[in-house]
Structure 1
Amino acid sequence: MREGAAAAGLRAENLSRIYPSGEGTVTALAPFTHTFPAGLTAVVGPSGSGKSTLLNLLAGFDRPTTGRVLVDGTDLHALSEAGRADFRLANYGFVFQSHNLVTILTALENVEFPLTLAGVPRKQRRERARALLAEVGLSARAAHLPSQLSGGEAQRVAIARALAHDPRVLLADEPTGNLDSHTGERVLALLTGLTRGGRTVVLITHDPEVAALADHTLRVRDGEVTADG
């Protein structure tokens, strides 16, 4: 991957998400404040603890009940829906447990897709996509559809796609959850390498071995967030 992406100032301030439930409420995420440093932060906790709620708030996919998410001083949730989408396109990359590739596009076209949305000229975006596929070891699979790729190959294409516009923040939700241990290790090596040059990577996992590779750890239980360091 390209080195030199500047660290983004990703910060949660008094961030919470509370849902109505019958005559009461359910606290999916209790208010917390945290600055995400450059490097890899693992968010760990059991299923239903609030990890995905946290990631959705950091991404601007969901609105907080209280607080805000700041990226270099920009309040993500003060933007309009279209404004948040544009901001994500310019500043965020995403990798999910299911690779979420577009089934009718080749691996190369999938990596190009964010650049197409951003209006990057065809020659430039194709060169970028080919370079990223080479970085994840999939140059020979560029013309293959997702259905023709193994799970690990598809996930590596997804990582290449997430890096297409050189995002400063990368959010990953259980990116190795559907992979065997050997393939998962290769994908994790790619993700840990993304922190070169100061990129901020936030990775949700329930696997302590994955969390052990992180520079920093947040633990979530029953909606309460604590930092290990």
Structure 2
Amino acid sequence: MSAGPVQLRTEQLSRVYPSGEGSVTALSSFTHTFAPGMTAVVGPSGSGKSTLLNLLAGFDRPTGGTVRVGDTDLNRLSEAGRADFRLKHYGFVFQSHNLVAILSALENVEFPLMLTGMPARERRERARTLLEQVGLGQRAHHMPAQLSGGEAQRVAIARALVGDPDVLLADEPTGNLDSRSGETVLNLLMAPARAGRTVVLITHDAEVAARADHTLRVRDGEVHVEVPA
């Protein structure tokens, strides 16, 4: 967490996987500074979008190059160090909400703060505030199985935002939702982008991508920055 926007930057970022007697380049020498706001990452299946997201998050290590968040080079951190850094500086929203089934909506939102050691009263208050902001204050004590798909995804967004992350990564967050729920989720994700945070959104939906401030198009491991007409 930080007092202001923190820059996310890649430098000659690449990922090559062994394949039989050869290799497959999943991402090729990508250098880019992510501007504050929402960046949509688009491209066909297998193009390298998920590889890029995994590298940006530090879930995977690059074959070459760096990912920096502020002054921190993720590749210089240990696995435990990257996990701790993600907890403090990242928020994640996936196509499947990934809520913990045995925890209530409120407890799911609290969970990342519990891992940081935040006192119970403070984290409970913050989680309640986020649930109110996503319009689910009245559903705080419902279990995930009692929520609709759109509601569960809104809980997931509250969980992603509760730590005030510097970087928010979203992988097809509207993919399983009807158009109305998808619109609600997209608007919630755009709020931190408007506040100057860095939001990176993978999407197959051209209408969703059109709402973003910036667009990256990925094809065969090559990433291109789209310039508005």
Same fold at TM > 0.5: yes
Q: How does 1:49-64 map to 2 (within 5 A)?
A: 49-64=47-62
TM-score (norm 2): 0.97
The question of whether the paired residues in 2 share the 8 Å contact of 1:111 and 1:158 is answered with yes
Q: Deviations over 1:66-115 (max 9, x none)?
A: 10100112101110111111111110000000000000000000000000
Q: Which runs of 5+ in 1 are unaligned?
A: none
* One of 19, 24, 27 as aligned partner of 1:26: 24
Q: In the alignment, which residue of structure 2 is the partner of 1:48?
A: 46
CA distance in 2, matches of 1:98, 1:5: 30
Q: In the superposition, relative to structure 1, how do residues 215 and 155 fare at CA in structure 2: closer, same or farther (>3 Å)?
A: same
Aligned residues: 226
Q: Tell me the CA shift for residue 196 of structure 1.
A: 2.9
TM-score (norm 1): 0.97
CA distance in 1, matches of 2:199, 2:107: 24
Q: Which runs of 5+ in 2 are unaligned?
A: none
Q: How does 1:57-76 map to 2 (within 5 A)?
A: 57-76=55-74
CA distance in 1, matches of 2:152, 2:195: 26
Q: Secondary structure at the match of 1:195?
A: helix
Moved more, 110-119 or 4-13: 4-13
Q: Which amino acid aligns with 1:137?
A: G
The question of whether the paired residues in 2 share the 8 Å contact of 1:5 and 1:167 is answered with no
Q: How does 1:61-100 map to 2 (within 5 A)?
A: 61-100=59-98
CA distance in 1, matches of 2:203, 2:3: 24
The question of whether the paired residues in 2 share the 8 Å contact of 1:41 and 1:216 is answered with yes
Q: Is 1:119 the counterpart of 2:117 in the alignment?
A: yes
Give the RMSD, CA atoms, in angstroms. 1.0
Q: In the superposition, relative to structure 1, how do residues 13 and 177 fare at CA in structure 2: closer, same or farther (>3 Å)?
A: same
Q: Deviations over 1:120-175 (max 9, x none)?
A: 00000000000000000001100001000000000000000001110010000000
Q: In the alignment, which residue of structure 2 is the partner of 1:166?
A: 164
Q: In the alignment, which residue of structure 2 is the partner of 1:187?
A: 185
Q: Is 1:102 the counterpart of 2:100 in the alignment?
A: yes
